[in-house]
């Protein structure tokens, strides 16, 4: 039976992490992805501090730079980081699924090259999956890797590539099989972003700098040693990676913290609000707790090395919808103040406005909610996924 309180050791770890964040970051810190490069620099320094105390890759094996901790300890770290606007900056991708994928599918050389910099907080990764015509239907991607002599040449375009402008490395999905081979003809490559033939262009959006980019690959050379897994077998790696990614961002943790911050901001006027709106606040808190429990079910499956497609998608649906529900409750209770950014003297230094902007894209990022529902329905009906 699961103990969802996680016990005294988890509480001690939470307290330790909260003290570290409070001592390292100013009260108005809202994440690394701002117009001020100092914010990114702070997160890089903090990631190295976490690594030095064995907390960055707490659940990784010691042989790969981890602390041999449990997945539950890693969950505590994940929750506290996301609740406090991700003080690790862009590290979560490398920590949450790139590193584990390399452990599972990489060669000895790939492990030696890539895992130590992730474990010390020095490597930034981006994910080259989505394309202009292949977002939700990822198995239809058309970026092509062609065999030329003793190497591969990759040509194509990727879109919505978070962190591409700051990343040193990219996990790049490319088609190595026939055009209509679907998921059976995809391979993954570990490509340095400074390689000749790669162009990154930022996509302006309300999410702020660095979140969205388009990447162009013009006859980019890749070696056999840079392929992760076997030729044409990249879909299996991607499937594992995406299941981890769907619970890698603990949105529910930030949602719960914001709900209690909201109560604190409105402490003198709480009873002035309509009872129905206050009930909406309570309903949102219930949904946040449901999302947490669904995420914990995925962690339990991961602890037992079980496939988690169904549970991961269910958790993702709950987390993204509660993200938007909390944004709506905040808007109702704060009114125009909910849209005040940090420069305007907003409550909680603009944390509510920051959340509102992010919540608008919550049900699209990392696989749309429609795709997550399709995965759930097909699993429950015992039907194979299309692609």
CATH code, domain with 41: 1.10.540.10
Confidence at residue 292, expressed as pLDDT on a 0 to 100 scale = 94
What would the mean pLDDT of 18-22 be, rounded to a whole number? 97
Please report which helix (H) or strand (E) contains residue 158, including its range: strand 151-158
Q: Could you tell me which residues are beta bridge partners of residue 213?
A: 202
Confidence at residue 244, expressed as pLDDT on a 0 to 100 scale = 64
Is residue 227 located within the same domain as residue 344? no
Note the Cα 272 to chain centre separation in Å. 38
Q: Determine the angle formed by the axes of helices 309-334 and 275-303, rounding to 10 degrees.
A: 160
Is residue 261 located within the same domain as residue 370? yes
Confidence at residue 87, expressed as pLDDT on a 0 to 100 scale = 96
Asked if residue 386 is part of any domain, the answer here is no
Is residue 200 located within the same domain as residue 212? yes
Is residue 58 located within the same domain as residue 134? no
Is the per-residue pLDDT at 205 higher than 80?
A: no
Asked if residue 28 is part of any domain, the answer here is yes
Is the per-residue pLDDT at 384 higher than 70?
A: no
Is residue 136 located within the same domain as residue 189? yes
What would the mean pLDDT of 91-103 be, rounded to a whole number? 91
pLDDT, one tens digit per residue, over 273-303 is: 888 888 999 999 999 999 999 999 888 887 8
Q: Six-digit token pair at 387?
A: 């692609």
Confidence at residue 310, expressed as pLDDT on a 0 to 100 scale = 82
The last residue of a domain, from among 99, 123, 147: 123
CATH code, domain with 151: 2.40.110.10
pLDDT, one tens digit per residue, over 350-372 is: 999 999 988 888 877 766 778 78
Is residue 151 located within the same domain as residue 260? no
Is the per-residue pLDDT at 387 higher than 50?
A: no
Look at 255 and 368; give whichever has higher pLDDT: 255
Mean pLDDT of the chain: 89
Q: Six-digit token pair at 263?
A: 């109560």
Work out the percent of the chain whose per-residue pLDDT is above 90: 62
Is the per-residue pLDDT at 208 higher than 80?
A: no
> What is the C-alpha to C-alpha distance for residues 293 and 298, in angstroms, rounded to an integer?
9
Confidence at residue 86, expressed as pLDDT on a 0 to 100 scale = 95
Domain total of the chain: 3
Confidence at residue 254, expressed as pLDDT on a 0 to 100 scale = 95
Asked if residue 329 is part of any domain, the answer here is yes
Is the per-residue pLDDT at 243 higher than 80?
A: no
Look at 119 and 247; give whichever has higher pLDDT: 119
CATH code, domain with 365: 1.20.140.10
Confidence at 179, pLDDT banded by 50, 70, 90: confident
Give the contacts of 286 (CB within 8 A, at least 6 positions apart).
none
> What is the C-alpha to C-alpha distance for residues 300 and 313, in angstroms, rounded to an integer?
15
Asked if residue 118 is part of any domain, the answer here is yes
Lowest-confidence segment of 31-40, 172-181, 305-314, 321-330 by average pLDDT: 305-314
Confidence at residue 187, expressed as pLDDT on a 0 to 100 scale = 97
Is residue 103 located within the same domain as residue 11? yes
- Identify the domain containing residue 25 by its residue range: 7-123
* Phi, psi dihedral angles at 156 (to 5 degrees): 160, -170
Considering only CA atoms, which of 297, 295, 361, 278 is closest in space to residue 323?
361
Is the per-residue pLDDT at 385 higher than 60?
A: no
Is the per-residue pLDDT at 2 higher than 60?
A: no
Q: Six-digit token pair at 110?
A: 């790939």
Determine how many CB atoms are found less than 10 A away from the CB of residue 109: 10
Please tell me the pTM assigned to this model.
0.89
């Amino acid at each position: 039976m699961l103990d969802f309180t996680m016990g005294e050791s988890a509480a001690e770890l939470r307290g330790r992490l909260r003290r570290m964040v409070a001592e390292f970051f100013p009260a108005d810190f809202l994440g690394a992805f701002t117009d001020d490069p100092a914010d990114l620099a702070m997160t890089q320094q903090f990631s190295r501090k976490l690594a030095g105390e064995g907390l960055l890759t707490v659940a990784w094996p010691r042989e790969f730079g981890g602390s041999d901790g449990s997945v539950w300890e890693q969950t505590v770290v994940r929750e506290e980081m996301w609740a406090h606007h991700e003080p690790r900056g862009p590290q979560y991708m490398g920590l949450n699924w790139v590193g584990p994928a390399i452990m599972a599918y990489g060669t000895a050389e790939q492990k030696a090259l890539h895992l130590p910099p992730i474990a010390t907080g020095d490597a930034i990764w981006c994910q080259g999956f989505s394309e202009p015509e292949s977002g939700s239907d990822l198995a239809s991607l058309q970026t092509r890797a062609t065999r030329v002599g003793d190497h591969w040449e990759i040509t194509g375009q990727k879109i919505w590539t978070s962190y591409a402008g700051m990343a040193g490395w990219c996990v790049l999905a490319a088609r190595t099989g026939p055009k209509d081979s679907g998921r059976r003809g995809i391979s993954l490559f570990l490509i340095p972003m400074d390689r000749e033939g790669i162009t990154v262009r930022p996509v302006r959006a309300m999410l702020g700098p660095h979140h969205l980019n388009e990447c162009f690959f013009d006859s980019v050379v890749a070696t056999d040693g840079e392929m992760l897994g076997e030729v044409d077998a990249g879909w299996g790696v991607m499937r594992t990676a995406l299941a981890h990614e769907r619970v890698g961002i603990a949105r529910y943790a930030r949602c719960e913290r914001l709900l209690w911050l909201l109560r604190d901001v409105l402490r003198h006027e709480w009873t002035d609000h309509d009872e129905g709106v206050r009930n909406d606040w309570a309903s949102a808190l219930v949904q946040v707790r449901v999302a947490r429990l669904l995420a914990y079910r995925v962690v339990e499956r991961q602890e037992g090395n079980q496939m988690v497609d169904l549970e991961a998608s269910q958790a993702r649906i709950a987390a993204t919808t509660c993200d938007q529900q909390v944004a709506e409750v905040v808007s109702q209770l704060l009114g125009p103040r909910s849209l005040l950014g940090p420069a305007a003297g907003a409550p909680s230094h603009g944390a509510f406005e920051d959340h509102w902007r992010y919540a608008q894209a919550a049900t699209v990022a990392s696989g749309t909610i429609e795709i997550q529902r399709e995965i759930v329905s097909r699993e429950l009906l015992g039907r194979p996924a299309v692609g």
